[in-house]
Amino acid sequence: MRRILSKRGMYLFLNGMSEDPPRNWAQNLIHKLFHSDYDDRLDDVVYKCRESSKGLCAKFSESDLRMSLNSGVLHTIQLILTRDEKIASKRQVDKSYRFFLDVMWTAFKQSDHQTAHMLYLSLTHSILTKLKIKVPKRAYEQLEKVHAQYGDPTYQKHIKFWRTVRSDDILPSLFAFSIYIARRRFMNREFEVKEATEMMEIFQYLEHRHCEILPIYNQKPLTTTELLKLSTQLTHRAITK
């Protein structure tokens, strides 16, 4: 099987972190018997995205967080549109879209809401929705379920959900929390700002602060204009073929 991720994708989602997900002997046996190369890549990316979400949670109070979150979305879109820094073929775009859809859905099922939300925002961005990407039938239901979890644009639904969380295995959407806090602060609803901020402060005291953050979040921010240019080139290439 040809690799699913480009060289740049491998760096941004995999090579930035060196540790492999731990497996006991039984898991390893099942893994060898039934897993494909695609499953291997999916497992690795989902695991390392989860570790990265933990690291991001620990730096929630830092001033450059929103820039990091936006970088994750825009660079994921760039990866879908390109292949080793060149415009991707239509087939490659379709494959990349399906791969990140699978990462999103697996992360969502594993309660990594940061990764799920980041990829939802990438896959539903207008730059991609305007392209004629061959989307799997399951995509619409999965995207809708992820969308319904957070309650944009206010994200009050995710904050309400977080009041019920009693497990370290559930990771919040930093997009939802940061936007919710900003909106509540603008409305001078300081009690709600304080409550949401305190929900996130606990991550500064957990071991999550030692988790590595994927390079996808630390790249120089792209602009929408740059992505539109890539999208236009992709469309033109498809028409002229």
Residue 83 phi/psi, 5-degree rounding, is -140, 110
pLDDT of residue 194: 97
Q: What percent of the chain has pLDDT over 70?
A: 88
Whether residue 29 has pLDDT greater than 60: no
Report yes or no on 64 lying in a domain. yes
Report yes or no on 2 lying in a domain. no
Residue 87 phi/psi, 5-degree rounding, is -60, 130
**Three-state secondary-structure class, residue 82:** strand
DSSP one-letter string for the chain: ---SS-HHHHIIIIIT--PPPP--HHHHHHHHHH--HHHHHHHHHHHHHHHHHHHHHHTTTSTTHHHHHHHHHHHHHHHHHEETTEEPPHHHHHHHHHHHHHHHHHHHHTTBHHHHHHHHHHHTSHHHHTS-----HHHHHHHHHHHHHH-TTTTHHHHHHHTT---TT-B--HHHHHHHHHHHHHTT-HHHHHHHHHHHHGGGSSGGGGSPPPGGGSSPPP-HHHHHHHHHHHHHHHHH-
pLDDT class for 1, splitting at 50, 70, 90? very low
pLDDT of residue 129: 92
Distance CA 75, CA 114 (A): 16
Q: Write out pLDDT tens, residues 177-200.
A: 999 999 999 999 999 999 999 999
Average pLDDT over residues 231-239: 77
Average pLDDT over residues 205-210: 76
CATH of the domain at 200: 1.10.840.10
What mean pLDDT value characterizes the chain? 87
Report yes or no on 1 lying in a domain. no
pLDDT of residue 11: 79
**Three-state secondary-structure class, residue 209:** helix
Q: Which domain holds residue 141?
A: 7-240
Report yes or no on 157 lying in a domain. yes
**Three-state secondary-structure class, residue 87:** strand
Distance CA 165, CA 160 (A): 10
Whether residue 17 has pLDDT greater than 50: no
pLDDT of residue 236: 73
Domain count, the chain: 1
Whether residue 21 has pLDDT greater than 90: no
Average pLDDT over residues 124-129: 94
pLDDT class for 23, splitting at 50, 70, 90? very low
Q: Write out pLDDT tens, residues 128-167.
A: 998 989 999 999 999 999 999 999 999 999 999 999 999 9
Whether residue 233 has pLDDT greater than 60: yes
Average pLDDT over residues 214-238: 85
